[in-house]
Structure formats: C-alpha cells, structure tokens
Structure 1
C-alpha cells in the first residue's frame, strides 16, 4: 500500500499550532507489519521499507536530530553481509537529514518510531551509486539494511553545546527568515513537565524579554534559531535555561525541573541587524536600550537589565564613523552601558565582572569618578583594601567633596587595622607554639634561646594562611 503524502499543513483547532508530527507525515496508516512502503518522494521504488517490529508511540525523529541505531547491511543480490553495528556491539549515530549517510537512510530512519525494526531496501541511486564502496559493495548494487531505531535526541543548540537546549524540528519554516535581537515575535507556546501541561498560550514579546511573557531563558534563546512558520519541540535542562531554583509558583514545578516546550513561530517583526544600522540609528537604538535597561534595573530584573546594557556595547563598541557631538554622545552611552552593568554585577556580588566593566569605562574616560568609585568598592568587597583606598583617594583628587569616598576610606582603614591586628595575634600565637615545642625538646640545654628555624616557620605560615 502506497500512501499519498499530505502537502498542506493542518492546523490544530484548539492550540492553533500546525498539527503535523513531521513534514513527511503520511495522511493515513500506510502499512501493517510485513508490507513494503515506498518512502521516496517521487514514489520511484528507490527506497522500500518493510516493518519487522512495530515501534512505540507516535513520535518520529526530525531533521537535525541525532539518531542512534543498530543495523546489519547485506547485498540484495546474494545476501552477503558487508557491515554490522551489532558485530561491533556498538550503536551507530548520525545527524538526520544532513547528508551524513546515504539518501536511503535519511529517508528511512525519518519514518521510524522508537524501538521499530525494519528492512530498508535501497537502490544504488539512493545508496552508493555506480561507483559503489569497494571492496565490499560493488557499483550499482541494491542494498538491504536491517535497522533498529534505539533512540534519538534533538539538535544541541545550547551556547556551550552541553545539551541544556535541544531542538527537534516538527515543521520546517521559511528558509532565511529568522528573527533578530529585539524583534517582536508572535508565538504559540505549550510547556510541559513529565507529560503535564503547565503553559499553553499565544503570546507576543520582544526577543530577549521572554521572561516577561512567562517563558524560560532557553525558549528565548532557541527562538533566535527558528524560521517563520517553524514548529519545533524544545527540551531544556539544567538551572541556566529552565526556570531554575525558583520557578513561578503558578506552574507547580520542582526546582531546576527538566521541561519541554512545543513552539510555533507564527510571525515576527523584522528589524535591522546591528551591522545594517547607520551611526545615527545605532545611537537611537542604544538610547532605547539604555532606557529599557534602567527600567528593568529599577524592577530588580537584573538579567534583563544586563542584556539591555550589553546591547549598548554591541551597538557602539566598534562604531568609529561618528564625529564631534555624536562621537561624544556615543562615548557617553558606551560608558553608561559599562557602568550600569558594573552596578548590576555589584548588586549580585560579582566583583570580578564589576571590575572588568569599570576598567572598560576607564579606557574611554580615565578620570570617570563613578568608574573609579565602583571599582574601588568592588576591590573593597574582595578585601583588596589597600588598592581600594588608593582608588578612593583618586576619587577625592577629582571630586574633593565626595563624602561617600571619605566614608569608605575610613571604613577601609578600620578594616585594614583589624586585619593587621589579626595577623599580629596569629603570628604571636604561632611563635608561642613553636617556642613551647622547642622548650620541651631542648629542656636539657641551658640556653634560653629559641632556634632560628622557628622564626622562619612562623613567618612562612603567617604569609600563606588565607585572611578571612
């Protein structure tokens, strides 16, 4: 039985999401176990499939998924075996739909369910062609493959390629039609945890601000890889891209829960990429990013604020075409981006990042009081007290009436005195310990002196202990 392929996309009446499970889903059940199915788009008989063991469920792997299979390959002409993963006792894996294997396999495995075992008969033009694969596969050979689909996983699209965001394409969208940063996107989103749906909405939001619409960071990141009209399944794990340790109470999720989202990108507003903007347009976009970042900062939404300040840097860091007042405005906005980022990092006690941002601001304006003060405060938090005092003094050289700097210098000096007193007590205690030990060891001597090595031991120990 050969089934007709459905070319149009069916829309689910309830979710408004395209209902096809896969772009090549057949419109009706095509085969019982043992019947042959022609899998070729042209129905030319080039790839025939015969199911030996039915799979489970309704899901099938999608283009871009990594699939894991066992297989045995034989020549159709005489049944001679030429390759077998079972003989190696190791499953074979490949990325589906990326031409990493013969055409017959890309077609065949895409039609399988988990646990399914089938025989794929691949004509030469869907296998190794007229040249074959010597010495085991002659040119023009038709091949039989017994294939068992063990499992599959979505394409890893996480920034660190650590599997925290994976995507399986269900319906492909328009090629080369992807949203860019700050695009307003319109999506259908269905989120689930262990089969329970906790999120089912049609929403619009600015890309990068998905959390404002109730979405986790991983969905926001994934959408940047979508095409208009695409429907994909997204799997998220780990604390970074899920809802983390404190998920919204209304979703009733455990901390750091692994979650799944089915996302349909209905449409998006196209905006220019950074490299397409003129100098004036970059200034305007940076002003808007600064205002939005400040709004998020005032709401204690630190991740969103940081993203907006990073947007300023992205727009202006390498912008060198501006002149005069416009270049001054560019520098002022860039400094604001760095210093506001430093402020956010300071609030989160991320002192190293805070110092980095201050240093970038100081590269533009070496006498910027806010940059000097915030760097000094971060150093103070790290217990780099003497360096912090030095920077506070620089602040006072530039702004003698800065009461905050005067106050912090006093606090630093008090802290420094406390540290030195602790070191003195520690050193004295170690000295007394070593002296007591040697007095015991040297009780038979009439010399009241302590061996010179104990002074060295006490000094070395005092220098290597961490000051708390």
Structure 2
C-alpha cells in the first residue's frame, strides 16, 4: 500500500468555448470582476499568433481596438473575447475555420487549413448599448456603482453636439436640467439616464429621437431636417427625484397629476406612445392607496380612470384596439356607468367587428345619457355596418349554396353518363388501361 501527499500549487482553466472543438481557451492570467464584453462592444486586445513555432502576426504594444461585431484579423479573436474578463490573458488553440481558413496567409507561410496558436489579452472595452431600438450609446469612461438618474432627477452635464461631418452645432460645459421633462432632446435625455456620475459617453441619435424632420435653426450652424446627430456627453452630477415609496399621499397625487398633464400634452402633439407611457406612470403613483384617506382614495380613483380613458383614446388613435379595450375594462371595473369608457370600448369592438358587444355598450351608454350625441352617431354607424355585414354574409352563403347545387347537378349527370361510356368502351375494345379490368375482360387475352 502506497500513500502520497499531494499539494495543488496551481491550475489553468481550459475550455472549449464554442462547443465544437474550434477554439480551446486556457486562462494563463485571470481577469478582473465578472463582466464580459458583448457583441456590440468595442474591445482593445493585445495578441500574438503562431503557426507551429513561428510567430505570424502580432499587435503593437498598445494593442488594437475593434468592434466585436466587425471582428479583427481572424474570427477566433471576436469569438474569444466574449468569454474573457478585463485584464485576462489566455492561450488559444484555433481550428482552421476560426483562423486563416482555407486561404491561409501566404506571405507568412501559413498554408490553407492550418491550425494556429495564439496568446490573447483583453486589455479593456467600451460598452455599447442600443436604447429605444435606434440610439447607439458607447461608454468611453466607465465608473463603478449602480446609481443612475431617475425620471425627474436634477442633472448636470457637459456635452458637445456634432453633425455627421464633425461640425459642432451645440456645446455646454455645465447644463442643468430635469430629466424626462422635455428640456433636452429625447435621445440625449435617454442616454443621460443610463449613465453613472463621472461617466463619459458618445451617443449617435437618429432624427426621430433628435430634431426630427424640422431640424434646428442655429445662429452659426443649423441641424438639417432628418439628420442623425452625435453627442459627446459627461454626467457631472445628479440628484434623483423621490420615488413613490418615499412620498406622502399629497406628493404622490401631485406627481400623478403632473404626469397626467404631460400625457395630455403629448396627446395633443400626437405623440401617442409617449402619452401612454406618461399615463401609465401616473397610475403607478396611485396604485398603493394605504397612505390615503377616504377622500384621497376617491380623488385617486378619478385620476386613475381619467388616465385609463385617455390611454384608451391613444389606443384608438394608433389602432391598438385590444389595448384600448383593456383600458376601458379597467375603468368599468371601478365605475360600470362610465360613459367615456363604454363609448370607447364600443369603438374598439366596432373596429374588430364585434358588433354585438359594441351594440350592448352603446345601448348602456344611451341608457345613462339618452342625449349623448356621440353615442347616437356611433349607434347609427354601427347599424349601417351591421346591415352591410349581414348583406355580405347573405351573398356569401347564397353563392356557396349555388355552387353546392351546381356540383350536385353535375354529379347526377356524370352518374347517368358513366354506364353508357363504359358500354361504348367495351364495344370498341379498350386498350388504354384506364378502364376497370372487368370491363376489359379481366386482364386476360382472348
């Protein structure tokens, strides 16, 4: 029997990072933290690439910067950095499809289909985010922590605004404003609310989140309509607005009313999507009524119903009829005789051809207010639509029955004709093989 005393001095983590054996990564120096770059991020790496014992490619001392999505030199680098941490160094064994492929690198004597080895260090990276689907935000100076400006925060920023050709159209070393209050363009506001204190970012903002089709008239340089603009921005400082749980009843009501008014403002400007967001946020301030007196609860109920009714109108304007109906349902759960909710739900039903439900809502609305002009007009429109729909259905069924009768008549004629054709074929001696074998004598030659 033998006994061994074993001490583990060190180890290296080896991983098949893609699961197909194409890139085997061995960590030789661990990185910092837990975060890893993502596909849109821009990374800085240092590397050396070997074929056999020969070095065939290397970065400069400062390394090379590139977008992961675009890649650099060989596919293995972009694939590998997504599995690395800042400061990490790894050795890579690279299959041909992730190296120079079948083409090889003739000037360095690398034949097609060659396996490679590489040493790769992830020096740093710049995070790139997409906000609202089309705003590209690249963080060039990152900070620790997690706190960011909320809606209604008082912020201080330094910024430079540039056109696509690099000309500066606006700049400010210390702009103070309140977020989510239309004091700056929407795209810049969204970017600032994604930053931490002391961070610097470069944002590319398309026209729908910048100055739109109208552009911006400037004293020196104007922004043309439909222009995509770039902002270099630094968040100098900020103070967040109170969250709802930090407010008393009066403060929550004031915040809700302010958001409701903002929603109305956007509705008038036909910014229906933004209006819906404002109404929804207003309601959130009023959802928890534990702090309210009975009078305050009744007031909150009225504001919530007004916001839902307004949301329903936005849904009708944008043809989001299902969403409009749901908003009306919420109102009618609290007040079954709410005239606006009945009327707008009826409009939603009409749009989706649910005529019976629409008729019931309009009848209920007219029971509440027999003189309601809008409900009367909508009922007249509904009756016309129902009549037209019924006529169309009658014609469709009539045509269907006519086609069925035609098929039946043709089938009867065919049945009468078939025996006569069979007799004629037998008399002539069928040779085509299309008749039944019995008719052709059972398949036996005479």
Q: What's the TM-score bracket when you normalise by the shorter of the two chains?
A: 0.5 to 0.7
1:431-450 → structure 2 map (5 Å cutoff):
431-443=401-413
Aligned twin of 1:300: 270
For the pair 1:91 / 2:107, whether they are aligned, the reply is no
Aligned to 2:309: 339
* 1:86–1:327 CA distance, 2 compared to 1 (3 A): same
Distance 2:137 2:179 in 1: 18
Sort the Cα spacing of 1:382 and 1:94 in 2 relative to 1 into closer, same or farther, 3 A.
same
Match of 2:324 among 354, 366, 378: 354
- Indicate yes or no: 2:176 matched with 1:207: no
- What's 1:234 paired with? 203
> Partner residue of 1:312?
282
Partners of 1:438 and 1:335 in 2: CA distance:
59
Query: Cα–Cα, structure 1 residues 101 and 72, in superposed 2: closer, same or farther, change >3 Å?
Result: farther
Alignment of 1:188-199 (within 5 A): 188-192=158-162, 194-197=164-167, 199=169
- TM-score relative to the length of structure 2: 0.61
Q: Paired residue for 1:270? A: 240
Structure 1 323/69 Cα, relative in aligned 2: closer, same or farther at 3 Å?
Answer: same
How many correspondences in the alignment? 329
Q: Is 1:225 aligned to residue 187 of structure 2?
A: no
Counterparts of 2:152 and 2:224, CA distance in 1: 30
Cα deviation for residue 404 of structure 1 reads 2.0
What TM-score comes out, normalization by structure 1 length? 0.59
Question: Which structure would you say has the larger Rg?
Answer: 2
Tell me which moved more, 416-425 or 299-308: 299-308
Structure 2 SS opposite 1:311: helix
Q: Partners of 2:412 and 2:44 in 1: how far apart?
A: 74
Question: Contact 2:289/2:297 (CA < 8 Å) preserved in 1?
Answer: no
Name the residue aligned to 2:129.
156
Alpha-carbon shift at residue 88 of structure 1 (Å): 8.3
Separation (CA, whole Å) in 1 of partners of 2:272 and 2:279: 11
CA contact (8 A) 2:153 2:241 kept: yes
Quote the RMSD (CA, aligned, Å).
Answer: 4.2
Contact in 1 for aligned 2:87/2:121 (Cα 8 Å): no
**Contact 2:141–2:200 under 8 Å retained in 1:** yes
Distance 1:258 1:361 in 2: 41
* Unaligned stretches of 5+ residues in structure 2: 1-28, 31-36, 56-71, 91-117, 217-222, 417-446
Relative to 1, partners in 2 of residues 1:88 and 1:165: Cα closer, same or farther, differing over 3 Å?
closer
Q: Is the 8 A contact 1:174 1:230 kept in 2?
A: no
CA distance in 1, matches of 2:43, 2:144: 25
Indicate the larger mover: 183-192 or 385-394: 183-192
1:385 maps onto 2:355 in alignment: yes
What is the CA–CA distance in structure 1 between the aligned matches of 2:131 and 2:170, rounded to whole Å? 23
On the 8 A contact 2:129/2:136 being kept in 1, the answer is yes
Distance 2:313 2:144 in 1: 41
SS in 2 for 1:156: strand
> How many Å apart are 1:445 and its aligned residue?
6.2
Return 5+ residue gaps in structure 1 as ranges: 1-45, 48-60, 107-143, 447-468
